[in-house]
């Protein structure tokens, strides 16, 4: 099997995991904390930033353009632990609660980050 097919197969076989991630600007240490039902989508976020299409956070996009991709790191802060044995487990609600925990802990607002406080 050629390398491209091998990588595609590996990608398909990788389980979909929800979790909390952080994008850190290593120049000024500002961070963006976010959540996703599929951590594989971080590659899509990188692509959007690289193509100047990240409309979800204009300040982060501006600084990405200013400092370049090498000034930023992507880190998974925590993966959501699924509860397959709980029929009432709501993955979206659990993910939002987990994100709130990390926002409270890291306070990525104003000078410290790119997140906006919810009113």
**3-class secondary structure, 51:** coil
Q: Is the pLDDT of residue 21 over 60?
A: yes
Please state the domain extents for the chain: 14-94
Contact 60, 40 (CB under 8 A): no
Q: Is the pLDDT of residue 118 over 80?
A: no
Across 76-89, average pLDDT: 86
- Report the top-level CATH class of 14-94: alpha beta
The proportion of the chain whose per-residue pLDDT surpasses 90, expressed as a percent, equals 74
Return the pLDDT at 3: 80
The Cα–Cα gap between 119 and 106 comes to: 18
Give this prediction's pTM. Answer: 0.84
Across 47-52, average pLDDT: 97
């Amino acid at each position: 099997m050629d390398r491209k097919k091998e990588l595609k197969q590996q990608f398909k076989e990788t389980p979909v995991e929800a979790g909390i991630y952080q994008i850190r600007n290593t120049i000024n240490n500002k961070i963006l904390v976010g959540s996703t039902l599929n951590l594989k989508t971080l590659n899509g976020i990188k692509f959007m930033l690289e193509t100047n299409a990240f409309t979800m956070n204009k300040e982060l996009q501006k600084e990405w353009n200013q400092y370049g991709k090498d000034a930023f790191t992507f880190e998974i802060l925590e993966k959501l632990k699924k509860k397959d044995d709980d029929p009432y487990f709501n993955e979206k609600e659990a993910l939002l609660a987990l994100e709130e925990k990390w926002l409270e802990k890291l306070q990525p607002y104003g000078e410290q980050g790119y997140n906006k406080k919810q009113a």
